[in-house]
Amino acid sequence: MAYVALYRQWRPQDFDNLIGQEHINTTLKNAIAAGKVAHAYLFAGPRGTGKTSTAKILAKALNCVHGPTPSPCNKCPNCERITAGTSMDVFEIDAASNRGIDEIRDLREAVKFAPVEGRYKVYIIDEVHMLTAEAFNALLKTLEEPPAHVVFVLATTESHKIPATIHSRCQRYDFRRIPVADIEKRLSVVAADSGLDITAEALRLIALHADGGLRDALSILDQCTALGDGPVGADAVRGLLGLVGHEWVWRLTDAMAARDASAVLLTLEELIALGKDVRQLLLELAQHGRSLMIYKAAPEVAGLDTHGGDRAILADQSARFSHDELVRMIQLLQNAANEAKWAVEPRITAEIALLAVCRRGGEADLAALAERVAALEAALAGGGAARPARPASAPAPQPRPVPAAHTPAAPETKPAAPEPKAAVPALTGASPKEIWDAVLKELVAGGKRSVHACVSQGELITLTDSQATVQFTSSFAKERSDKEDYRQIVEKSLAQITGHPVKLSCVAATAPPPAAAPSPAPAGAAPAAPAEGHPALNQALAIFGGKIIKEEKNEEV
């Protein structure tokens, strides 16, 4: 007789032997006992969790000669034929290869006929999400109102791909991933019955690697039976599965915790030389990082499944990372594992991720950076100059002095060398000139150079408790200083200097006598540029800055 795989030998034959799905067992058994069998069921969940097995158990419960019963006998002809897959009333259809509208039309015609041997015709459509949209539409009416002798069981691993119109016509049962402890217990029973000598550590490693699927775990255990005589240990299972191993993962983690880039690269080189898969290495490092994160967050929690459960290692390595560093490490490793799946040279992807973990201390603090950006934006919105924050111990930079304007009506006033900005003491009993000089100095120290360049062309002629009158010889400077933004800045400086609120009033000075008209230029000649020292030129230099460059003319010989 041909060899039968372990997962087929140990397929559950009744509801009581279905592992890890007690919520579904109880509901279906009660429904059958009460005679409330639905016409359509949707079984959704990860692979290897018992969806198809449950569908066959349901078919036996409905067609057993002693039924319908929640406990099929598995001995009558109907149960035996369903178990062997030869029943003429139970149809198992693979939707991945029968996904078109023609197959569904044939099914619609076949459901009209009565059962041959049992009470119900049961249609089990596996991977139903693979059906085309047209096939789903063709199935709708039959699925909603099938003949009384027909029961549909739809099984899928991707329930989100099932149309809502199908969902609404079925009773849905969600299958859960089987806990590691339940898989371990089942594997130990199977290994003992099969005469396989395997260690408890190896069984746990298989259960962890199965990712909640008992069928995958039994397939791995089936492979272990061919490893040879003697007990099967964890190292043999790691070699069979192509795993990297805890020792290598711990060694790499120690190097990353110490930020030792050389050790990380050398260890990676050794693993590649040994033929280890780079993507598998990244996945195991990410799983170990998860274990460290969980242990650091809640070391007393023992119910969570962790890879490499040596608590002494977890305690030592988790203490060498902060929580944020562990989260960042897991994200980097998972992203690198996804990229390595399609990369031409996955080794480069792994090196980038591991070195990024080693150099995590050089990364900018994003939260602090966001606060600085917000402070700068607030300063700009308020009209102030944006200056980055600096430590209190660092000396304040000296602002570059701005040249004062030269005007015909007032002599040049050079502001004093600016000093670090501090609280400005109020001047009492000072002359208007002293107060105005202090205002100009405060503007330069505060970084308001454009305001200083404009208002320095004026002269404070009168000062009362409520108003300061500034006289300008330049109409442009007078109009610009009188605008709200510049006026508010100057009034704020005046209030700081005088110690009380003062309103700014800008007035124009009496126009100087007109200069002698220049002799008319010859016809066709270009207009003459303003001579150096011209009031208009001085005003432009004061507002916009710069220097005078004389134009050199090449005379024709």
| DSSP-assigned beta bridge partners for residue 121 | 150
Range in 4-13, 329-338, 455-464 the model is least confident about: 455-464
CA distances, 317 to each of 188, 313, 344, 351 (Å): 32, 6, 33, 21
CA distance 420 to 446: 9
Task: Write down the pLDDT at residue 454.
Answer: 82
The contacts of residue 452 (CB under 8 Å, 6+ apart) are 402, 415, 440, 443, 444
DSSP state of 178: P
Task: Write down the pLDDT at residue 386.
Answer: 45
Q: How confident is the model over 495-507, as pLDDT tens digits?
A: 888 888 888 888 8
The contacts of residue 488 (CB under 8 Å, 6+ apart) are 383
Based on its alpha-carbon atoms, the radius of gyration of the chain, rounded to whole angstroms, reads 43
CA distance 45 to 217: 17
Q: Which two tokens stand for residue 17?
A: 């032997």
Q: How confident is the model over 506-552, as pLDDT tens digits?
A: 888 765 544 444 445 454 444 455 555 566 666 666 666 666 666 55
CA distance 223 to 100: 37
DSSP for 448-503 reads: -HHHHHHHTTEEEEEE-SSEEEEEES-HHHHHHHTSHHHHHHHHHHHHHHHSS--E
Task: Write down the pLDDT at residue 493.
Answer: 85
CA distance 356 to 337: 14
- Alpha helix positions (H), 66-154: 77-84, 101-110, 133-144
Domains in the chain, please, with CATH? Answer: 6-174 (3.40.50.300), 180-241 (1.10.8.60), 246-361 (1.20.272.10), 432-508 (3.30.300.180)
Cis peptide before 432 (omega within 30 of 0): no
Residue 266 has pLDDT above 90, yes or no: yes
Quick one: average pLDDT of 317-339? Answer: 91
DSSP state of 303: S
Backbone phi and psi for residue 126, each to the nearest 5 degrees, phi listed first: -85, 145
| DSSP-assigned beta bridge partners for residue 51 | none
Angle at 77 between CA 71 and CA 82, to 5 degrees: 70
Q: How confident is the model over 158-213, as pLDDT tens digits?
A: 999 999 999 999 999 999 999 888 999 999 999 888 888 888 888 888 888 888 88
CA distances, 540 to each of 72, 444, 474, 507, 547 (Å): 102, 19, 11, 20, 10
Q: How confident is the model over 122-134, as pLDDT tens digits?
A: 999 999 999 999 9
Q: Which residue has the higher pLDDT, 531 or 375?
A: 375
Which residue is listed with tokens 């929690």? 301
DSSP for 490-507 reads: HHHHHHHHHSS--EEEEE
Number of helices (H) and strands (E), helices first, in the chain?
A: 23, 8
Q: How confident is the model over 405-430, as pLDDT tens digits?
A: 444 444 444 444 444 443 444 555 67
Where residue 438 falls among pLDDT bands split at 50, 70, 90? confident
Residue 399 has pLDDT above 60, yes or no: no
Per-residue HEC secondary structure of 19-85 comes to CCCHHHHHHHHHHHHCCCCCCEEEEECCCCCCHHHHHHHHHHHHHCCCCCCCCCCCCCHHHHHHHHC
CA distance 278 to 347: 6
Residue 1 has pLDDT above 70, yes or no: no
**Cβ–Cβ < 8 Å for 162, 156:** yes
For the entire predicted model, the pTM comes to 0.58
CA distances, 163 to each of 44, 124, 133, 421, 516 (Å): 13, 18, 9, 69, 93
Cβ count near 87 (within 10 Å): 25
